[in-house]
Amino acid sequence: MPPRPKELNLPTVPQARDGGCGKPRPSRVGKWRALVLIGVHVFFVGHFIHWQLAGKTLSPLEPSEAMQTLEQGLINCGFVVLLVGVLSTLVLGRWFCGWGCHIIALQDLCTWICRKLRFRPKPFRSRLLIFVPLLAGLYMFVWPSVARAWAGHPPPALLYHFTTYDFWATFPGPIMSAVSLAVCGLLIVLLLGNKGYCTYACPYGGLFGVADRFAVGRIRVTDDCDQCGHCTATCTSNVRVHEEVRLHGMVVSPGCMKCTDCISVCPKDALYFGFGRPSAARGSARAPRPRREFDYTWPEEIALAAVFLVALYAYRGLYDAVPFLLALGMASITAYLLVQAARLLYADSVRVHVAQLKLKGRLTSTGWAYVGLALVLAVFVGHSAVLQFHVREGERMLDRATALQAAFRPDAPEVVEASRAALDHFRWIHRFGLLPQISTEVRLGSLYLFLGESDLAEPHLRRALQIDRGYGAARYKWAELLARRGDTERGIAELRAAVEADPGLTDARNDLVAVLVQRGERGEALRVAQRIVQRRPADVEARLGLARLLADSGKREAAEVEMREVVRQRPRSAAARLQLGLLLADLGRGHEAVEEVTRAAELDATNPRIWFVLGVLAASAGESETARSALERARQAAPFDGEVLRAWATEAVRSGRYPSVKQELTPVAGQDVAAAYALAHLLAAAGDAEGARSAFERVRGARPDLLPP
């Protein structure tokens, strides 16, 4: 291995007007910022302890929680933090990252340790990967709303969710949390330079960086500046402070995190934080900007982007463990390492910081070791990408099987074929995966159960429970297996455990409530349903289930409260309004019921069942015109539905329209099967049994599957 080169004090900035400033002094702000960031960690620990002791606490103060606000309408603490962060950035600039981020704290700690060891991580400079944070931020916080609008779905109703019983539900486990901190707070600094995660991965930084361009608060300069460069030497965000204040009179880089170290070390006190024009309105520079230098050519930049995308696809959700934010950091590191390895093929000399990999056309011993590690990394990424392909294809075929099952019988050939195809993908993962994957084991067990192969399902479900006994889906399927074998009591116990572990399992909680009701434990069923709604206040299906259970238990007023909350959360849900209308009818409030079901019919005008219910309720409430119109719409939409036709015929006879309707249908009944079937029901409702039988005989020849009126 070649000897490590001595550290050289090379000038990095112009020194024409040194002014006798000497060596940069330590920042007086650093210790205060360190105390603030330590306070952030202390607050988090206190937050966690409070949850452990109280069982309920504030929802996580993590900006990613804002995704729940956009997707589910849950206004939580994370959304407030993100909103306050963005709005305050428009005034103060990008201060939140520098003074409130725990990942920044780790990155700065790593940089401080490196400097103590006389090692300065070289900043990684890329033209394309610089856009990763912004694109990730748009994907997380803008794309959900765009996709919903594109699909024609209304925005969710807003619901306050500032407290939670499941504080850790959206966080990774302790092992992956430690890995995330190590990779995104430490390793990325050593390879991509300080603030490497902020610059090439952090989605929040992408949003704050855009907002910073419009901030009126910035680091600004007076005429006392003599371009000594102490500010640039001190900046831990890789901002060329002396250059930017010379060109623009202020720092314009969105990478500036307002740490104010540069202000603290300025020997002339020429820098200050002040308010004025934002960088977006700064105008032309005072002097020509020096040509920016990048580490990679354009072909290499494209290679970096390509490797990043493949690695992100491979890492995200890998082995049910890698969260999106960690995958972004890992993908950036992978892109850097593999492109540096590719450079060994054609570059004359290649380094990775202090490690000389290739010198004057010859690989060093360190370079050979690096080649071996790079090959292992490339194979791992490739294997992971193939595995993720099978995961996604297996999920797609599983969704297809579920959709086909709703349209056909469960044992239909199309359903079995799609299930077998999904099984093939998950078996590949089980066979060739490097680590056991609990979701794969559960899916294999579920598919074997669905196909009636319980003996093959058992080992997979056992393995899933060995991996994580608290995994709700595994316990639910184990409960199903026990129930099939007649072990009812253990099956119910497992079902309870599954719902407690994951109240979002709709089928599991419905099965549990149904079993409890069947066993006569309606009070316990109500407590289970109420507990689920308490833990998942935005879960419409859970609240709808509670409302139905309350109604069936005779607690119709309480059921109405829950149903109205469902309608408030999903005002454009025809099903919710239909259920509310039926409940109001049970309470004897017929006109209100008709009003709600009318709204349901407006939302889903092609659903004959809604028109049928509307007609029946309107007839009961004495709204004959509404009943006539609704039942006619139902008959037109479902001309062979016996229940619809009986209600339509009964209303026609009761309203005195029997003669006119009979006169209208009789001429066309000979050629129109639907008209003949309607006429048969009309005659039956009027008491003309012989005429009804005669009319039905015309129908029987064309539609032998239909029942007589």
- Quick one: which of 126, 467, 164 has its CA closest to 459? 467
DSSP 168: T
Mean pLDDT over 138-158 rounds to: 87
Backbone angles phi, psi at 408, to 5 degrees: -120, -175
Backbone angles phi, psi at 384, to 5 degrees: -65, -35
**What percent helix, strand, coil does the chain show, rounded to 5?**
65, 5, 30
**Cα distances (angstroms) measured from residue 605 to each of 421, 609, 630:** 37, 10, 10
Mean pLDDT over 460-484 rounds to: 93
DSSP 250: B
pLDDT band at 159 (very low <50, low <70, confident <90, very high): confident
pLDDT band at 8 (very low <50, low <70, confident <90, very high): very low
What value does the CA radius of gyration of the chain take, rounded to a whole number of Å?
A: 34
What is the number of other CB atoms lying within 10 angstroms of the CB of residue 61? 17
pLDDT at 241: 94
pLDDT at 566: 87
pLDDT at 1: 41
Query: In whole angstroms, what is the distance from residue 236 CA to residue 184 CA?
Result: 16
Tokens 């879960």, located at residue: 539
Has residue 7 got a pLDDT over 60?
no
pLDDT band at 25 (very low <50, low <70, confident <90, very high): confident
Amino acid at site 579: Q
Is 70:144 a contact under the CB 8 Å cutoff? yes
pLDDT at 11: 45
Could you tell me whether strands 355-359 and 57-58 are parallel, antiparallel, or unpaired per DSSP bridges?
A: unpaired
DSSP 682: H
Has residue 699 got a pLDDT over 70?
yes
Has residue 412 got a pLDDT over 90?
no
Residue 532 or residue 10, greater confidence = 532
Has residue 292 got a pLDDT over 80?
no
Is 111:103 a contact under the CB 8 Å cutoff? no
- Quick one: which of 524, 587, 521, 574 has its CA closest to 544? 574
> Is 669 strand, coil or helix?
coil
Is 144:66 a contact under the CB 8 Å cutoff? no
Backbone angles phi, psi at 218, to 5 degrees: -150, 165
Has residue 5 got a pLDDT over 80?
no
Query: In whole angstroms, what is the distance from residue 567 CA to residue 597 CA?
Result: 12
What is the number of other CB atoms lying within 10 angstroms of the CB of residue 39? 11
Mean pLDDT over 386-404 rounds to: 94
**Sign, CA torsion 54/58/62/65:** positive
pLDDT at 353: 84
- The mean-pLDDT minimum among 285-289, 473-477, 691-695 falls in 285-289
The ranges assigned to domains in the chain are 30-281, 639-709
**Which residues share a beta bridge with 358?**
350, 363
Mean pLDDT over 126-150 rounds to: 93
pLDDT band at 156 (very low <50, low <70, confident <90, very high): confident
Amino acid at site 107: Q
221's CB contacts (< 8 A; 6+ apart) are 245, 246, 249, 250, 270, 271, 272
Burial of 460 (0-12, 13-18, 19+ CB in 10 A): buried
What is the number of other CB atoms lying within 10 angstroms of the CB of residue 574? 18
pLDDT at 285: 67
The pair of three-digit structure tokens given for residue 499, joined into one six-digit string: 């719902």
Strand order in the sheet with 355-359: 350-352, 355-359, 362-363
Query: In whole angstroms, what is the distance from residue 82 CA to residue 53 CA?
Result: 27
Has residue 576 got a pLDDT over 80?
yes
Q: What's the pTM?
A: 0.82
503's CB contacts (< 8 A; 6+ apart) are 509, 531, 532, 535, 536, 539, 542
Has residue 154 got a pLDDT over 80?
no
The pair of three-digit structure tokens given for residue 492, joined into one six-digit string: 């119910």
DSSP 160: E
| Percentage of residues of the chain with pLDDT beyond 90 | 62
Has residue 570 got a pLDDT over 70?
yes
**Cα distances (angstroms) measured from residue 397 to each of 95, 393, 401, 415, 665:** 47, 6, 6, 10, 48
- Quick one: which of 169, 177, 208 has its CA closest to 83? 208
Mean pLDDT over 586-611 rounds to: 91
Query: In whole angstroms, what is the distance from residue 198 CA to residue 240 CA?
Result: 17
Length of the chain, please? 709
Mean pLDDT over 6-32 rounds to: 63
pLDDT at 135: 96
Query: In whole angstroms, what is the distance from residue 124 CA to residue 238 CA?
Result: 10
The pair of three-digit structure tokens given for residue 188, joined into one six-digit string: 């990325």
Has residue 374 got a pLDDT over 90?
yes
Has residue 2 got a pLDDT over 70?
no
pLDDT at 612: 93
Question: How big is the CA angle at 187 (ends 184 and 191), to the nearest 5 degrees?
Answer: 115
Long-range contacts of 38-44 (CB under 8 A, 24+ apart): 38/105, 40/100, 40/101, 40/102, 40/105, 41/102, 41/105, 44/102
Query: In whole angstroms, what is the distance from residue 137 CA to residue 324 CA?
Result: 11
Has residue 27 got a pLDDT over 50?
yes
Mean pLDDT over 488-506 rounds to: 91
Query: In whole angstroms, what is the distance from residue 231 CA to residue 286 CA?
Result: 19
Query: In whole angstroms, what is the distance from residue 679 CA to residue 674 CA?
Result: 9
Query: In whole angstroms, what is the distance from residue 259 CA to residue 436 CA?
Result: 44
Query: In whole angstroms, what is the distance from residue 617 CA to residue 611 CA?
Result: 10
pLDDT band at 256 (very low <50, low <70, confident <90, very high): very high
Has residue 380 got a pLDDT over 80?
yes
Question: Cα torsion for 504, 507, 509, 511, to the nearest 10°?
Answer: -170
pLDDT band at 341 (very low <50, low <70, confident <90, very high): very high
pLDDT at 21: 67
pLDDT at 287: 67
Tokens 């599957």, located at residue: 705
DSSP 281: G
pLDDT at 16: 41
Is 217:91 a contact under the CB 8 Å cutoff? yes
Q: What mean pLDDT value characterizes the chain?
A: 90
Has residue 12 got a pLDDT over 70?
no
DSSP alpha helices (H): ranges in 193-259?
196-200, 203-212, 230-234, 241-248
How many helices (H) and strands (E) the chain has is answered by 34, 9
Has residue 417 got a pLDDT over 80?
yes
Query: In whole angstroms, what is the distance from residue 381 CA to residue 367 CA?
Result: 21
55's CB contacts (< 8 A; 6+ apart) are 165
